[in-house]
A and B are shown apart, each in its own frame.
Chain A
Amino acid sequence: MDDFMRQGPLNDLGLVGRPSDENALVTMGDGGRPMVVNLRLDPANKAAMKAIGSLLGVDLPLKANFYVEGKGFEVHWLAPDEWMIVSGTGNGNDLVANIEKALTGVHHSAVNVSDNFAVITVEGEKARALLQKAIPLDLHPREFSTGMSLQTHAAKTNVILQQTGDAPSYKVYVRRSFSHYLWAWLEDASIGYGLAIASE
């Protein structure tokens, strides 16, 4: 497949080459097109959990609202029996096939949802204040910090929010059809902070 045929949802926004505000306190950007697979599995099935753990190089996290990193994979806890597996490279269909092989005969569901999401990156001094306008959960570091990931809503759409660093920096996974709306909402909310556009 030719890569030029692939169009991420944020491409329409024309972010490349967009000028940034001077002294911007927030930087937003297109988080690209990671591979994403949604996995449903009963965590009580120890053997299956172990099989998946060795496939991904990391055990599926059981602690609510945390993500872990394995060999090339990030695994986000979404629900007691649901995880989101993310990788910067690779094809979701291949991972689904590998999971199905590892879990032969075990009740599970692995679905390639790589095209389901847009990823918006938000970072900088005012990143938390900006997201706090949209998100009704407390993002203060004593409640939410690097290494955590949660499902919530931002303005009027569902998101998965991941804190990736202490800057602070975040990734916002949003369903692609809502991504133009959410970008516009966050950009509007950055008023007074100054906004820079991440150059990749």
Chain B
Amino acid sequence: MSQKFRLESGGLINRDKHVTFSFNGHELKGYDGDTLASALIANGVHLVGRSFKYHRPRGIMSAGPEEANAILQLGEGAYTEPNARATMEELFDGLVATTSNAFPTVKYDIGEVNSLLSKIFVSGFYYKTFMWPSKAWKFYEHFIRKAAGIGKAPEDHDPDIYDKTNAFCDVLVVGGGPSGLSAALSAAATGAHVTLVDDQASLGGSLMAQTGQEIDRKPALEWVAEAEAKLLTFDNVQIIQRSTAFAYYDHNYVGIWERLTDHLPVKPEGLPRQRVHMMRAKHVVIASGAIERPLVFCDNDRPGIMLASACRTYVNRFAARPGNKGVIFTNNDSAYAAVLDLVAAGIDIKAVVDVRQDPSGPLMEKADAAGVKILTNSAIVGTNGRLHLKSVEVAELSEDGETAKSDIMEIECDFLGSSGGWNPTVHLHCQAGGKLDFDEERGIFTPKPNNRTNPNTSVGSCNGAMGLADCLSQGFEAGQEAAKATGIKFRKSGKASSAEAIEEGNRRLLWLVPGKKPLGQSGKHFIDLQNDSTAADLQLALREGYRSIEHVKRYTTTGMATDQGKTANVNALAIVAQTLNEAIPTVGTTTYRPPYVPVTFGAIAGRDIDALLDPARTTPMHSWHVNAGAEFEDVGQWKRAWYFPQPGEDMHAAVNREVAAMRNSVGILDATTLGKIDVKGKDAAEFLNRVYTNAWTKLGIGKCRYGLMLGEDGMVMDDGVTSRIAEDHFLMTTTTGNAAPVLGHLEDYLQTEWTDLEVYLTSVTEQWATASIAGPNARALLSELTEDIDLSNEALPFMSWTPGTVAGIPARVFRISFTGDLSYEIAVPADYGLALWQALMTAGAKYDITPYGTETMHVLRAEKGFIIVGQDTDGSITPVDLNMNWIISKKKGDFIGKRSLEREDMSDPNRKQLVGILTDDPKEVLPEGAQLVEVVKDKPPMDMVGWVSSSYWSPNCDRSIAMALVHGGLKKMGQKLYSPQPDGRVITCTISDTVFYDKEGSRQNG
């Protein structure tokens, strides 16, 4: 038996197109045009889940994005998706949905026992109970998380493709209801670039749920179709359907989440599932509508209890009956629109329970005339039915509305629609920094206009205009004004559409509907259905001293579920205000934050995943390294060859071989990644004087010098070798990772502090490829590849450079060394990098030339005590701490960091200082990062005097070597230190100087 609750006719569904879907393993039928929720309702399924905390049976409560109960798991396997709102999912053939929060089944859920324990599961329960003893939280947390979660994340890699694009327009219209359509039409006619975003499969918004509306004297949906057709004739208009403007950031930057294939039974292969448009709009017209506010009454959460507007939507738009016998509970006239439509659809409305003492309004009058039973000054004080609503209990209200009289009338029914008025959807307005006004009469927050930072206009019901006539005229005017404000060449846009104005009637704001007993003593007044927080929880939080609505929210978790309290928040703050006896605007709202609805992570990540997550920068020689079997290390965004293992070698063996080979014959390193900055201008030397600690004026042309660059704080920021090309021309090198920050730092000084200096900087990092050859045979090798360079020690001594030709390529040859051995860095235009490398490898074969990677480079430089900025320094280390006083010029004028270096604290002998560390057992290699102590105790804490910054096995020294930053280390040469290890061992070591190999430096100078 299928679709028992489908009406014989009507609705915006396509009855010719049957759709089969599955819910909790049952095969069900629906129609094209249904949502998952409407199809379930047409099949008489209300029970769709269990609540978060108490595992109470829950049913579909809305027909829109505000849904708090019908949060389902969709799809299977890698495609499964949690937290889908059944009300927003278009039905398609083969859709598979399951209940999220029930075990073993939704009808018999083991967690329902929590409901019996609800007296102890009050707000703050977890904070109060499981935080003691403090260490046990880790144990509790495991079970609590498992029991509490809603939905399952897929365990496999997401197989879908998510697209992302930047987008621009003059006028962005959010919402395709009457206000939004009206705005889009008037803006489009001016010639402005208009983008209309709507979250449904078809335009029309609220009009799809309303029968009998007329616009321009024709049926409203006919007007919608004409409006859409007209918009499509403009080539300056773009309509993005099935899309949600989920976030509004500064500078009118709006995130739009488009669902491209979710509704299709067969997903087209290779096409994106969803797309995020990062829209920058000159003006935003917000026409996001309003969301009906439920009344807060006792046991207001049973399946079958929904918003009055949802009942109306299901009947009118989807031709689905929410039930057979209904009761409507209201405090205002709008719910009677639902009453009239339900009655017209042949549904038995047992009664309208109206809290108003003397209700007025045209719709109520119509219902009254039609003979609907209306119980005034009455309230629902209780409900019955475990898995589905069976009856409601009605009592008359006291004069002040705070209590109910004891005469109870029970009315049998299988659904209940409640209406507490309409909350304007002000989320985007607030995300944009907009403020709110409080409308005392209607009990709603409305947008305060005029946001200068983010030009936007709210129109229609999100602006508090609840009548169709106002929606149309506000939209029209705002669309036109928005276009005008963007400064485009303006064409006049005609005349607004019109509709009959309808009075709203009166209302009685009864935030908390009394039950049979005082609050909390029997039954539950749910505020936030998804997070199971109640009015009693709010009052408890207030009794415990919470006052700020932000604190109350977090303590009770009200409004913190995936629906972000769309139906809960205003009720919650009003009840807080009432309890505190304060005005509602004084309590205020919580902060509206993006996203407006849950957005898949995939859509936010877009295509910046896997290999495209971050750029992998490669050198011209990269392909050679790959072919040689190199392992790579990430240095900044660069892929640098780490080591070149030969068959059967692990990293340790490879590095030992590479280190020894370099010292014994010749090694080759790809040094392309170092930052390079061309410094040009008559003040270039003076500029270097100011940015480095040492003096540069007297550096001869053709010479190179090492420099330390400090921050204003006197701490080491970068280092590198700079060479003089000409009187007014230098080439600076920086560390690989700091190339861009150093250039930025230098440009900053040139453009803001030293505008008097004639210096231009140009980044040439990528212009040059650099191969560094080092070892006793380096000179012999190079001499085979060059004819025009004199490589003798006299002609090209250590720390000098020369232009010339290497392997037939124009090159710059620098005799500089990071290994402490005889070394040449050969730089050629990058296009020739691979050719240079291949030539060196070929000519080097007879010397057993050995390519080495960054790990070997680290060992080699550590053997010589050369620092690596960022490894042996951490932003708190001065040149003095590095025992490099020699590099600080005393004669020249100011340089960056000089003043800070002169602070008293900088000469404190107990500062951390860089020293060498030799383990007493030469075979023991200290772990980098190991802590050092002078006195070993049985267990931590111990007084730490420093830590190991670099540590390696040195094949050339045949022992371990290390460097460490140790308090007062420089005056403690020869002193013993101890390094307690996590496994309980203690490594004993001795402080030494930092040069472990070739202390005289004869190798690099020879």
- Tell me the A residues contacting B by CB distance below 8 Å: 1-2, 5-9, 12, 33, 38, 40, 93, 107-109, 111-117, 129, 132-133, 135-138, 140, 143, 155-157, 175-178, 180-182, 184-185, 188-189, 191-192
Residues of chain A within 8 A of B618, CB atoms compared? 177, 180
Q: Tell me whether A156 and B767 are in contact in the complex, defined as CB-CB below 8 angstroms, given that A176-B830, A180-B616 are known contacts.
A: no
Stretch at the interface among B160-168, B351-359, B539-547: B160-168
Question: From residue A8, how far is it (CB to closest CB) to chain B in Å?
Answer: 6
The answer to whether the Cβ of B680 comes within 8 Å of any Cβ in the partner chain is yes
Report the bound CA distance from A192 to B278 in whole Å. 19
Q: Tell me whether A1 and B808 are in contact in the complex, defined as CB-CB below 8 angstroms, given that A109-B760, A116-B764, A176-B766 are known contacts.
A: yes
Residues of chain A within 8 A of B620, CB atoms compared? 7, 9, 176
Which of A132, A137, A176 counts the most chain B CB atoms within 10 A? A176
Interface of B is mostly: mixed
Question: From residue A115, how far is it (CB to closest CB) to chain B in Å?
Answer: 4
Closest to A4 in B: B835
Which of B167, B617, B623 counts the most chain A CB atoms within 10 A? B617
Q: Tell me whether A111 and B611 are in contact in the complex, defined as CB-CB below 8 angstroms, given that A132-B167, A191-B161 are known contacts.
A: no
Q: Tell me whether A109 and B163 are in contact in the complex, defined as CB-CB below 8 angstroms, given that A9-B620, A38-B762 are known contacts.
A: no
Question: From residue B646, how far is it (CB to closest CB) to chain A in Å?
Answer: 24
Question: From residue B594, how far is it (CB to closest CB) to chain A in Å?
Answer: 18
Q: State which of B607, B615, B678, B764 has its C-beta within 8 Å of the C-beta of A189.
A: B607
Question: From residue A106, how far is it (CB to closest CB) to chain B in Å?
Answer: 10
Mask for B820-852, Cβ within 8 A of A = 1, else 0? 000000000111111100000000000000000
- 7 closest residue pairs by CB, A with B: A109-B760, A177-B617, A5-B835, A109-B680, A115-B830, A40-B760, A181-B615
Residues of chain B within 8 A of A112, CB atoms compared? 767, 829
Question: From residue B614, how far is it (CB to closest CB) to chain A in Å?
Answer: 7
Question: From residue A112, how far is it (CB to closest CB) to chain B in Å?
Answer: 7
Report the bound CA distance from A178 to B612 in whole Å. 11
Q: State which of A40, A114, A140, A192 has its C-beta within 8 Å of the C-beta of B271.
A: A192
Question: From residue A188, how far is it (CB to closest CB) to chain B in Å?
Answer: 6
The answer to whether the Cβ of B350 comes within 8 Å of any Cβ in the partner chain is no
Question: From residue B734, how far is it (CB to closest CB) to chain A in Å?
Answer: 15
Interface of A is mostly: mixed
Which of A2, A116, A155, A191 counts the most chain B CB atoms within 10 A? A116
Closest to A33 in B: B831
Residue contact B163 to A133, C-beta cutoff 8 Å: yes
Residues of chain B within 8 A of A185, CB atoms compared? 607, 612
26 contacts between A and B (CB under 8 A): A5-B809, A5-B835, A7-B832, A9-B830, A33-B831, A107-B682, A109-B680, A109-B681, A111-B680, A112-B767, A112-B829, A113-B762, A116-B766, A133-B164, A133-B165, A156-B614, A175-B765, A176-B620, A176-B830, A177-B617, A177-B618, A177-B638, A177-B766, A180-B618, A184-B611, A189-B163
Q: Tell me whether A7 and B835 are in contact in the complex, defined as CB-CB below 8 angstroms, given that A188-B612, A192-B270 are known contacts.
A: yes
The answer to whether the Cβ of B272 comes within 8 Å of any Cβ in the partner chain is yes
Q: Tell me whether A116 and B809 are in contact in the complex, defined as CB-CB below 8 angstroms, given that A107-B682, A188-B607 are known contacts.
A: no
Report the bound CA distance from A178 to B614 in whole Å. 10
Report the bound CA distance from A126 to B132 in whole Å. 61
Residue contact A181 to B808, C-beta cutoff 8 Å: no
The answer to whether the Cβ of B758 comes within 8 Å of any Cβ in the partner chain is yes
Residue contact A140 to B168, C-beta cutoff 8 Å: yes
Residues of chain B within 8 A of A116, CB atoms compared? 764, 766-767, 830
Residue contact B831 to A8, C-beta cutoff 8 Å: yes
Residues of chain A within 8 A of B317, CB atoms compared? none
Which of A38, A109, A114, A136 counts the most chain B CB atoms within 10 A? A109
Report the bound CA distance from A161 to B223 in whole Å. 45
Which of A2, A129, A175 counts the most chain B CB atoms within 10 A? A175
Residue contact B166 to A135, C-beta cutoff 8 Å: yes
Q: State which of A129, A156, A157, A191 has its C-beta within 8 Å of the C-beta of B270.
A: A191
Q: Tell me whether A138 and B168 are in contact in the complex, defined as CB-CB below 8 angstroms, given that A115-B767, A185-B612 are known contacts.
A: yes
Report the bound CA distance from A12 to B615 in whole Å. 16
The answer to whether the Cβ of B280 comes within 8 Å of any Cβ in the partner chain is yes
Residues of chain A within 8 A of B835, CB atoms compared? 5-7
List B residues 727-782 near A (Cβ within 8 Å).
758, 760-762, 764-769
Residues of chain B within 8 A of A182, CB atoms compared? 615
Residue contact A178 to B681, C-beta cutoff 8 Å: no
Report the bound CA distance from A22 to B614 in whole Å. 30
List B residues 664-723 near A (Cβ within 8 Å).
678, 680-682
Residue contact B622 to A12, C-beta cutoff 8 Å: yes
Question: From residue B464, how far is it (CB to closest CB) to chain A in Å?
Answer: 34
Question: From residue B731, how far is it (CB to closest CB) to chain A in Å?
Answer: 10
Residue contact B607 to A136, C-beta cutoff 8 Å: no
A116-B767, A133-B166, A178-B615 known; 9 other A-B pairs, CB under 8 Å? A7-B833, A40-B760, A115-B766, A137-B166, A155-B608, A156-B614, A156-B615, A182-B615, A191-B272
Report the bound CA distance from A2 to B836 in whole Å. 12
Q: Tell me whether A107 and B681 are in contact in the complex, defined as CB-CB below 8 angstroms, given that A5-B808, A40-B762 are known contacts.
A: yes
The answer to whether the Cβ of B241 comes within 8 Å of any Cβ in the partner chain is no
Q: Tell me whether A157 and B831 are in contact in the complex, defined as CB-CB below 8 angstroms, given that A107-B681, A113-B762, A189-B607 are known contacts.
A: no
Report the bound CA distance from A107 to B755 in whole Å. 13
List B residues 830-889 near A (Cβ within 8 Å).
830-835
Mask for B25-56, Cβ within 8 A of A = 1, else 0? 00000000000000000000000000000000
